[in-house]
Amino acid sequence: MSTGPGADSAPAPAAHDSTARPRKTSMFASLKVRNYRLFATGAVVSNTGTWMARITQDWLVLSLTGSSAAVGVTTAMQFLPMLLFGLYGGVIADRFAKRSLLFCTQGAMSLSGLFLAALTLSGHVQVWHVYLAAFFTGLVTVVDNPTRQSFVSEMVGPDQVRNAVSLNSANFQSARLIGPAVASVLTAAVGPGWAFLANGLSFLAPLTGLLLMRTSELHETKLAPRGKGQLKEGLRYVSRHPELIWPIVLVGFVGTFGFNFPIWLSAYADDVFHGGVGMYGVFNTLMAVGSLAGALLAARRRSTRLRVLAGAAIGFGALEVLAAWAPGVWAFAPLIVLLGILGLTVNVTANSTVQMGTEPEMRGRVMSLFMMVFTGGTPLGGPLFGWLADQYGVRVSFMLGGVICAAAAAGVGLMLARAANLRLKVDLRRGERHLQFVPREPRELAVA
């Protein structure tokens, strides 16, 4: 039976928004699947290497040029390919066997790391080499991201998609805690070249995992045939399904206006609380701890509920407004942890909602749009909120990001409820006070 909404079927998320209490599931249920266990093991190794490379890459560019702007250019080079070509990556992901594609993309990322390692260890590295490697990695990511996202359902099946997506996020956040620390120690002890070498070699783990998978246990997905107009077909597909449009719109707002933490946290550490780079590192660690906790909590939920998505996004924006005016670091620090939890909840819930509401043969194109909207806003939101911080102060910049996120979440929540044929029910009776979305009654639907 198809996991995505058909032209004549009710929107898939409606089934997830019943008034019944959602069933719990084992936090690590997906790891019972051998193929996914191999995938996750390889991913934690390569993700750690990737975080090592990110930290080392920024440090190397800064040491070569002495310019923070050059570090910004490196970041832009990594994200620009997704903004320009992200949708084409989804077409490729739908057209070819995903396991084979991942062999190619993971292998290419390994070569990029080894390229920088060779140049750095030999003493010949220049800043344009780093730009080139960053842009090449960004191009590979255009294909790798939607392929990995959609390959999850092939490994675990539709019943475990949400749990696997949550564990993927937990995997990534765990590496975020480990990678920078290892990179700092390794770079200080033996130099940046060895950190790049470790990153290049780390991709042997996912390549080995892919090689050891049992293809007979994969959930077969129909491949899209080669033909014209497949990119437009993917966009038309999303446009016909509001239950897909609005989660994508929401993560676009959150990614562009709410996830500018490198700018905000560095400014709070340096300009507001005067704690320097050490405090900035602590803030990033607290954010990673919250994100990891959010991913693990999301892994326990069996169903995806629209009110969780909208509520978490509203709470995320409200917490940013609150954190913007935190009077001291003692109040700011716990709010960062909560922001990590809610930010990850928004991302995981939107991701799994979109995946489970999409036909398998369209999933690559839809997820490429999801990732393009979520990460493609970074080169736009970063300069904007950096300028706002310079002109009006970081507190104002942070607050405006939260206000925009909360307002967008409230609007998207109402549109999602309308798409799922829900209405807002408010009960102010003593002992019965609550606010929730409930299914419309038949008479209400007829009037609508």
Instruction: Show pLDDT as tens, one digit a residue, over the chain (448 residues).
Output: 333 333 333 333 333 443 344 455 577 888 888 999 999 999 999 999 988 888 788 778 877 887 656 766 777 788 788 878 878 888 888 888 899 999 999 999 999 999 999 999 999 999 999 999 999 999 999 999 888 888 888 898 877 877 887 788 788 878 877 887 787 778 778 888 998 999 999 999 999 999 999 988 888 777 666 666 677 777 788 888 877 888 888 888 998 898 888 778 878 887 889 887 568 768 878 888 888 888 888 777 666 567 788 889 999 999 999 999 999 999 999 999 999 999 988 888 888 788 778 887 787 788 878 888 887 777 677 778 878 888 888 899 999 999 999 999 998 878 766 665 555 555 556 655 555 555 555 444 443 3
CA angle (220, 221, 222) in 5-degree steps: 125
Identify the structural domains of the chain with CATH numbers, from first to last.
Answer: 32-214 (1.20.1250.20), 231-419 (1.20.1250.20)
Q: What is the pLDDT of residue 67?
A: 65
- The CB-based long-range contact list for 281-289 (8 Å cut-off, 24+ gap) reads 281/180, 282/333, 283/333, 283/336, 284/180, 285/177, 286/333, 286/336, 286/337, 286/340, 287/261, 287/336, 287/337, 287/339, 287/340, 288/173, 288/176, 288/177, 288/340, 289/177, 289/337, 289/340
Q: What is the pLDDT of residue 178?
A: 81
Q: What is the pLDDT of residue 12?
A: 38
- The CB-based long-range contact list for 392-399 (8 Å cut-off, 24+ gap) reads 394/263, 394/264, 394/267, 394/268, 394/271, 394/272, 395/272, 395/324, 395/325, 396/324, 397/260, 397/263, 397/264, 397/267, 398/264, 398/268, 398/320, 398/323, 398/324, 399/320, 399/321, 399/324, 399/325
Q: What is the pLDDT of residue 82?
A: 82
Q: What is the pLDDT of residue 443?
A: 43
List 425's β-bridge partners, or say none. Answer: 436
Amino acid at 242: P
CA angle (165, 169, 171) in 5-degree steps: 110
Q: Using DSSP, state whether 18 is helix, strand or coil.
A: coil
Q: What is the pLDDT of residue 10?
A: 33
The pTM score is 0.69
Enumerate the H helices of 300-377 as residue ranges. Answer: 306-324, 329-356, 363-376
Half-sphere exposure of 151 (CA within 13 A, CB side): 25
Q: What is the pLDDT of residue 419?
A: 61
Cβ 263 vs Cβ 382: under 8 Å: yes
